[in-house]
Amino acid sequence: MTETGPRIVVLTGAGVSAESGLGTFRDKDGLWTKYDLAEVATPEGFAADPAKVHAFYNARRKNARAAEPNAAHGALARLEAAGALIVTQNVDDLHERAGAAGVVHMHGELMRALCAACGATWEAPDVMEVGDACPDCGGGPCRPDIVWFGEFPYHMDRIAEAVQGCELFVAIGTSGEVYPAAGFVEEARGAGARTLEINLEATGGRFDQRILGPASDVVPDWVEGLLGR
Ligand code: APR
């Protein structure tokens, strides 16, 4: 930990959960090749057809519940226990199920529900439906607690402070296509941090170092190298 925050900040994307069987978004068979994100991942899409949006997230929630964390999630939980901060774009709970306790979910969580009327959040049921009532205000509409395109990600102040205060910024399994997450590497570089990308292939981001390979192979090796065991 530096005097202001974690020495190491890790940003994860869909690639860290790919080997757990959860789809990515922009790879060959990615989610956005099968669904129109405007219809299922925007406030306008939800307003136009809430049943379709609930069906999309009910299916993703079911897949996430059936998936198991992989060795990358486990290694990152150990790195978090050693003081690193995990910021994730992912909405699955595989980091937590691998033992991570303080993960910052900047795009929300599949396993949480949100009341669009009063802002209350609660553990999502397996199946959310149009007409579900908010347990706090009794109103609604109730929606998945997911940050949609056009909405502001969660915890941005905390993330900015950590990214600008860290000594090492590591992006794992993310294409770097979506802002503000895609801009974190430049923020970290500008603040003097070293930067590392771990991915199947190099993305367009300006990283000092790259480790290429499947996350469940290369992340444990990298973490063991850092933790010295
Ligand atoms: N190991 C490591 N990296 C992998 C693996 C793997 N086994 N499989 C895929 N990848 C990499 C791909 O090379 C790609 O760079 O994971 C990345 C997945 O990119 P995207 O599908 O764009 O996912 P992500 O970067 O998380 O998307 C960011 O976009 O749609 C929004 O909100 C959504 O959080 C998501 C955001």
Q: What is the pLDDT of residue 200?
A: 98
Which runs of consecutive H residues, i.e. helices, occur in 119-214?
156-165, 184-190
Burial class (CB in 10 A: 0-12, 13-18, 19+), 212: exposed
Q: Is residue 18 within 6 Å of ligand 1 at its C-beta? A: yes
Asked about 107 being catalytic, the answer comes back as yes
What pLDDT score does 1 carry? 47
What six digits make up the tokens of 157?
A: 């102040």
Residue 140: half-sphere exposure toward Cβ, Cα within 13 Å: 16
The 8-class DSSP code of residue 145 comes to: E
What is the percent of the chain with per-residue pLDDT over 90, rounded to a whole number? 96
Average pLDDT, the chain: 96
- Expressed in angstroms, the distance from the first to the final Cα of the chain is 20
CA 199–ligand 1 middle distance (angstroms):
9
Is the model's pLDDT at 2 over the cut of 80?
A: no
Q: Which of 122, 60, 56, 64 is nearest to 96 (CA)?
A: 64
Atom of ligand 1 nearest to the CA of 174: 25
Whether the per-residue pLDDT at 185 is higher than 70: the answer is: yes
62-72 tens-digit pLDDT: 999 999 999 99
Size (the chain), residues: 229
**Tokens 């949480």, residue?**
112
How confident is residue 151, by pLDDT bands cut at 50, 70 and 90? very high
Quick check: 187 pLDDT over 70?
yes
pLDDT in tens, 82-119: 999 999 999 999 999 999 999 999 999 999 999 999 99
Place of tokens 């801009």: 183
pTM for the full model? 0.97
Cα 71 to middle of ligand 1, angstroms: 17
Q: What's 207's DSSP letter? A: -
Helix ranges restricted to H, the chain: 31-34, 37-40, 43-48, 50-66, 71-81, 94-97, 156-165, 184-190, 215-227
Query: Residue 8: which of 146, 162, 217 has the closest Cα?
Result: 162
Task: From the candidates 54, 95, 105, 107, give the one annotated as an active-site residue.
Answer: 107
Residue 50, both tokens: 């809430």
